[in-house]
């Protein structure tokens, strides 16, 4: 292990050959060469500089809710934000939250403060940083609609702030999805509302999720982006793929837009099923499905 890395982080926050099935909602994935838990901006800047010196690839991990890591692992560094990056502060109708804060927890804090606008996010199992990066959304709401500004750190350690317009939000994308930077914090602007009404809306959306989504199985949520003019789940169902399996991975019969880890699936199983679904839908309907899932690491057998 690098002496320089030991000078930056305490040894208990430097994990080597850490299995990624412990850190992804698919519950699959081989070992990462390094798994680094970072608690301060100073540590982050120093780690980014070290990675550049070592010419090591890196990936910023939130809750692992949109990630598929190859069974042979990832020969780079996984960065995981903790410490000061978990803080959430509320001032009037403004919420400032660290990138590592869970989106569901922030939405609950908003509800408790009587702030409306974040109800749609109450069941999304990701972090604020991940939500901003991919403009997470559900039930006709998306993070772009409530974001005022986003602070990031560039690979050279410099920080900058993007306002909402500069974030170039789009469907499941933003400027920070295409730039090698780390989201540090986000300022959300909500509206004053009735706490009981906000709570009721969140409970209603939670009930819809439980009814329509296979929450009892490991998955990455909606596996495919919504193709223009279509719904991915309906295309997959109409292609006769409900319940289709590759190894332990299965197209959910409850919601065909979800690929689930039905029974001890490997990442190769999941990737194989995603490929099968994509090819079948293309063949039958001429529609190209694009995965929302990020593929990371070595998928070769």
Output DSSP code: residue 248.
T
Please tell me which residue in 172, 174, 219, 262 is annotated as part of the active site.
172
Contact 281, 289 (CB under 8 A): yes
300: number of Cβ within 10 Å? 8
**Cβ neighbours for 275, distance < 8 A, ≥ 6 positions apart:** none
**Cβ neighbours for 5, distance < 8 A, ≥ 6 positions apart:** 14, 34, 36, 47, 50
For this structure, is 216 an active site residue?
Answer: no
What angle, rounded to 10 degrees, do the helices at 103-112 and 195-212 form? 150
Length of the chain: 301
Please tell me which residue in 107, 122, 222, 252 is annotated as part of the active site.
222
For this structure, is 292 an active site residue?
Answer: yes
What are the residues facing 90 on neighbouring strands? 95
What are the residues facing 250 on neighbouring strands? 245, 260
Q: Is 155 helix (H, G, I), strand (E, B) or coil?
A: coil
Q: Is 142 helix (H, G, I), strand (E, B) or coil?
A: strand
**DSSP element (H, E) containing 295:** strand 294-296
For this structure, is 222 an active site residue?
Answer: yes
Calpha distance 270→214 (Å, rounded):
16
Within its chain, how far is the Cα of 216 from the centroid? 19
- Catalytic site positions: 172, 222, 292
């Amino acid at each position: 292990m690098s002496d320089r890395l030991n000078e930056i982080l305490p040894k208990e926050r430097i994990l080597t050959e850490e299995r990624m099935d412990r850190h992804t909602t698919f519950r699959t994935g081989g070992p990462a060469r390094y798994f680094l838990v970072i608690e301060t901006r100073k540590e982050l800047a120093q780690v980014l500089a070290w990675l550049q010196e070592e010419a090591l690839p890196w990936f910023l991990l939130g809750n692992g809710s949109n990630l598929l890591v190859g069974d042979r692992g990832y020969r780079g560094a996984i960065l995981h934000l903790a410490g000061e990056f978990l803080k959430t502060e509320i001032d009037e109708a403004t919420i400032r939250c660290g990138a590592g804060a869970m989106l569901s927890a922030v939405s609950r804090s908003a509800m408790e403060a009587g702030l409306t606008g974040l109800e749609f996010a109450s069941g999304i199992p990701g972090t604020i940083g991940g939500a901003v990066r991919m403009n997470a959304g559900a039930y006709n709401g998306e993070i772009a609609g409530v974001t005022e500004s986003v602070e990031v750190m560039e690979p050279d350690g410099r920080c900058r702030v993007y306002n909402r317009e500069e974030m170039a939000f789009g469907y499941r994308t933003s400027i920070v999805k295409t730039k090698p930077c780390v989201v540090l914090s986000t300022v959300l602007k909500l509206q004053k509302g009735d706490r009981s009404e906000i709570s009721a809306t969140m409970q209603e959306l939670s009930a819809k999720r439980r009814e329509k989504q296979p929450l009892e199985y490991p998955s990455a949520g909606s596996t495919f982006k919504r193709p223009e003019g279509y719904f991915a789940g309906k295309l997959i169902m109409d292609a006769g793929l409900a319940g289709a399996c590759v190894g332990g991975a299965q197209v959910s019969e409850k919601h065909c837009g979800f690929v689930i880890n039905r029974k001890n699936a490997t990442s190769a199983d999941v990737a194989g099923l995603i490929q099968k679904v994509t090819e079948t839908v293309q063949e039958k309907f001429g529609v190209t499905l694009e995965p929302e899932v990020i593929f990371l690491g070595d998928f070769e057998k």
